[in-house]
Structure 1
Amino acid sequence: MTPFYPLWVAILHFLNLFFLLLLARSGLEVLSAFPKLYWHDGCPPGREWARFSKKTFGADSRRTWTSLDEEESWNPVVALPGRKNLGLGRHWHFLTVQFWILTGLVYVVLVFATGYWRYLVPTSWSIVPDSIRAVGEYLQFRLPKKIPGQPFEPAQKLAYFLVVFVLAPFQIATGAAMSPSLLARFPWYGRLFGGKQGARSLHFLGLCAFGAFTVVHVFLVVVHGLPEGFTKIVLGTPGSNHALAVGLGITGLVGIVVFHVVVTWFSLRYRRRTQRLLGVVVDPFERAVSRSFRSRQRFRRRDISAYHRINGYPPTGPEYERAAADGFADYRLVVGGLVERPVSLSLDELREMEQAGQVVKHHCIQGWTAVAEWSGVPLRAVVERVGVAPEAKFVVFHAMDDKGLTEGEGRYGFFYESLPLHLAAHAQTILALDMNGGPLPVEHGAPVRLRVETQLGYKMVKWITAIEFVDDPGDIGLGMGGWREDQMYYANAAGI
């Protein structure tokens, strides 16, 4: 018979605590970028069911605003790393989730390989009424009896089963339902949770459930006898040296706190180095997801959102304003780089090329979504027209907006983004000229913007002025492959 508290349970218990705390803090950093929760993917302003911000914005507001104005700067004590660092928060989250899932898989394998499942998996529906009675006894300040031959009473056993075999997989499933690449390829998957916003809300409630379980779990350890319970958790053996267990346990907990203090400080002090270090593990995962899926979205016009947020203010200055007022009559899209036939195309020439349309869902990295209809030139048609050289591996989109003027906060330079060339061949990768049946509005990127439906919104460059085919985008900007990667430490791939 398997011992009640094998050592591997104690070790994996500690690792689970270690990774869950990282996931919770980095998840709160992600939430701080859009501190609102919805059940509907249209995300209409003012219709959220939960808001963790004092800021309010309306669809009919007289003052122009963008979704970046909704972002909050949360304290590093709460969020990892805090202070408006969405890019680094996502890096920490996606790094940690891989190790947390691996820890869970090892745990489940050992649970069934060693026979420990008998202590966790109920074999009779009587566990439900027995658990209710056990909870009643706790409420009457009495300790319920343990199940004969097992280490737990019914309520504990049922709770552990639900956390391991229901709540943890639920968190993984709802997390996956927020990936733009996965949802673009399998739109039905998001509908299982009521859309991305439903998955996002459920994911947050799952975090709350983990938090509540942890509080109750610790309380029950104290109620059932702190020294003995602590010894079981730390050493895996009841009746062992209590002083040793307390010493090791406190050392482990202090170690977790010190680790969080150090990585938070390091992340805020050395942001580029953190981006690069975490990217060693995270970037291949992101690139694999981005490469694996092609968008198959087919929404209907009646699904179009009544309000579509914008991210980023339009270019400033009289030159752009005059061009917009004149319908961009003199606009030219310059396409060059590693190509055989460089071109400079007007809007009329772009409209004379092959056209494509799609009603799709936009996924902002902050977390909001909206459905709109876009139409324009398939990027594939541009690639064919200019004859891209074999050595070209990336396509870079240069924009008209100087972010030092439109965004500030110590950031600078004209916006640009790069995509691996294989994404240009996707049917739903287009240069959009129209939105919702009319000319592309200024706030949404007129005269030309990119749509690439397996990626997050920051890759979909607005106000495009030039397209350049290159072998490596490392010589552009600060060399990270995009303006937000350069200035805000985002990942270069944006499929999750």
Structure 2
Amino acid sequence: MKTPLPFTRTAWPGVAASNRDAPKPAPRRIRGLTRGQWLLAVAGGGLGIVFATGMVIALARWFVSLDEVRAFLVTYPGTYASAVAVAPGFPAWVQWQHFFNVFLMVLIIRTGWQVRTEKRPDAFWSPRSNKKRRISLNLWFHNALDLLWFANGVIFVLLLFVTGHWVRLVPTSLEVFPNAVSAGLQYVSLNWPTESGWANYNSLQQLAYFTTVFVAAPLAAVTGVRMSGVWPKNAARLDRAFPIEWARALHFPVMLYFVVFIIVHVTLVFATGALRNLNHMYAGNDGLGWAGFWIFSASTAVIVAAWIAARPIVIVPIARLFGKVKTR
């Protein structure tokens, strides 16, 4: 039995009491955060990075103003005289291979990320010789790009040593290390190193390019082979010498290294004299004209077009030339 109200009832439930609006759906979350929260996080992070960068630059400018540091910068200006002479400029083969390398690296990074994050592949590829073995279409495309990139890299290194241009990338004196520190201080303090990339890289550039070509690239290739089907089956000694866990632990950080290198490299190309730097690599001259810029723009358009075109509708017919493709 209901307890009677202690007062006279004056209100009764209306239409809204039995026809309530459906509750609003919960906002979509991406890795635990809503879009608004992500926007705030990105904006806050961006402001934090800008503030931290400003503080680092201010500290660096104060540091290089010290008498001892000034003397160090005079002694080690950021570059050293190479023990081996090399003709200035960039041959046509360097320009072409630079484009091919960028073209392939962008697609390799894209497909590598797709392979790492995909949960349910849309298509699978199998070799004609072993139809029981299958890999995702993205992994096949990633491996195919890797082979082209590796071939391009081998040709590049061979031509480097045949033509003598290896001197640009390989340090020939221990002076490279203090000069690299000097160049780094000059970059961070926004006092750009006074060098001519047309004739010689500064020491920090040389170490960065050496690391990229002769350390990071081989690591990417070796770890990629270890994780691929190319690696010999039932090779116990090889497996013990180079466990697949090591390859997995190294391969992704190496990819991140390339991403950071590309971002820093492109930023400095534009910040330290865009027209001249682009002319060096794309137009083959040391001038300040616009030819290099327009060639760079055209090459960027080609890369963007390849990025957009790299979809199953385009990749599947190519993959079928080398094996069997099964789509969902």
Does the residue aligned with 2:201 lie in a helix, a strand or coil? coil
The equivalent of 2:211 in structure 1 is 162
Asked whether 1:251 is paired with 2:302, we answer no
Distance 1:22 1:135 in 2: 30
Change (3 A) 1:206 1:148: closer
Distance 2:230 2:90 in 1: 42
If each structure's strand is expressed as a fraction of its own residues, which one has the higher value? 1
Distance 1:31 1:140 in 2: 38
Question: 1:107 Cα deviation (Å)?
Answer: 0.7
Asked whether 1:19 is paired with 2:104, we answer yes
Change (3 A) 1:190 1:162: farther
Offset from partner CA, 1:227-256 (integer Å, 9 cap, x none): 11111121122116x222222211111111
The equivalent of 2:141 in structure 1 is 92
Distance 2:284 2:173 in 1: 27
Offset from partner CA, 1:262-285 (integer Å, 9 cap, x none): 232xx1x367534303xx2xx5xx
Offset from partner CA, 1:4-43 (integer Å, 9 cap, x none): 322211111000001111211111121124xxxxxxxxxx
Tell me which amino acid in the other structure corresponds to 1:254: A
- Aligned 1:291-310 pairs, distance under 5 A: none
Distance 1:204 1:254 in 2: 27
Distance 2:316 2:154 in 1: 32
Distance 1:7 1:161 in 2: 21
Does the residue aligned with 1:486 lie in a helix, a strand or coil? strand
Change (3 A) 1:275 1:102: closer
1:115 to 164, 168, 172: 164
Asked whether 1:28 is paired with 2:113, we answer yes
Asked whether 1:178 is paired with 2:178, we answer no
Tell me which amino acid in the other structure corresponds to 2:94: V
The equivalent of 2:50 in structure 1 is none
Q: Is the CA contact 1:131–1:155 (under 8 Å) kept in the aligned structure 2?
A: yes
Q: Is the CA contact 2:227–2:247 (under 8 Å) kept in the aligned structure 1?
A: yes
Distance 1:163 1:220 in 2: 16
Distance 1:73 1:88 in 2: 7
Distance 1:207 1:102 in 2: 18
The equivalent of 1:486 in structure 2 is 326
Distance 1:96 1:223 in 2: 31
Question: 1:178 Cα deviation (Å)?
Answer: 1.2
Q: Is the CA contact 2:101–2:149 (under 8 Å) kept in the aligned structure 1?
A: yes
* Structure possessing the higher radius of gyration over alpha carbons: 2
Asked whether 1:229 is paired with 2:274, we answer no
Does the residue aligned with 1:4 lie in a helix, a strand or coil? coil
Change (3 A) 1:18 1:148: closer
Tell me which amino acid in the other structure corresponds to 1:12: Q
Question: 1:168 Cα deviation (Å)?
Answer: 0.5
Identical amino acids, percent of aligned pairs: 28
Which structure ranks higher in relative contact order (CA pairs < 8 Å, sequence separation ≥ 6)? 2
TM-score, normalised to structure 2, is: 0.64
Q: Is the CA contact 1:177–1:189 (under 8 Å) kept in the aligned structure 2?
A: no
Flag structure 1 segments of 5+ consecutive residues without an equivalent: 34-70, 75-84, 284-479, 489-496
Tell me which amino acid in the other structure corresponds to 1:486: K
Tell me which amino acid in the other structure corresponds to 1:257: V
Tell me which amino acid in the other structure corresponds to 1:21: V
Distance 1:199 1:258 in 2: 32
Question: 1:221 Cα deviation (Å)?
Answer: 0.7
The equivalent of 1:390 in structure 2 is none
Question: 1:185 Cα deviation (Å)?
Answer: 4.0
Question: 1:118 Cα deviation (Å)?
Answer: 1.0
Distance 2:182 2:281 in 1: 26
Distance 2:247 2:233 in 1: 15
Tell me which amino acid in the other structure corresponds to 1:141: L
Tell me which amino acid in the other structure corresponds to 2:301: V
Asked whether 1:239 is paired with 2:287, we answer yes
Tell me which amino acid in the other structure corresponds to 2:270: V
Q: Is the CA contact 2:103–2:303 (under 8 Å) kept in the aligned structure 1?
A: yes
Tell me which amino acid in the other structure corresponds to 1:152: Y
Higher mean C-alpha deviation, range 135-144 or range 182-191: 182-191
The equivalent of 1:215 in structure 2 is 263
Does the residue aligned with 2:231 lie in a helix, a strand or coil? helix
RMSD (Å) for aligned C-alpha atoms:
2.7
Asked whether 1:276 is paired with 2:320, we answer yes
The equivalent of 2:91 in structure 1 is 6
Distance 1:166 1:5 in 2: 22
Q: Is the CA contact 1:171–1:203 (under 8 Å) kept in the aligned structure 2?
A: yes
The equivalent of 1:197 in structure 2 is 245
Distance 1:141 1:198 in 2: 39
Tell me which amino acid in the other structure corresponds to 2:319: Q
Tell me which amino acid in the other structure corresponds to 1:259: A
Q: Is the CA contact 2:279–2:292 (under 8 Å) kept in the aligned structure 1?
A: yes
Distance 1:29 1:148 in 2: 36
Distance 2:90 2:316 in 1: 43
If each structure's helix is expressed as a fraction of its own residues, which one has the higher value? 2
Q: Is the CA contact 1:234–1:249 (under 8 Å) kept in the aligned structure 2?
A: yes
Q: Is the CA contact 1:190–1:199 (under 8 Å) kept in the aligned structure 2?
A: no
Flag structure 2 segments of 5+ consecutive residues without an equivalent: 1-85, 123-133
Q: Is the CA contact 1:231–1:238 (under 8 Å) kept in the aligned structure 2?
A: yes
The equivalent of 1:135 in structure 2 is 184
Paired residues, number: 232
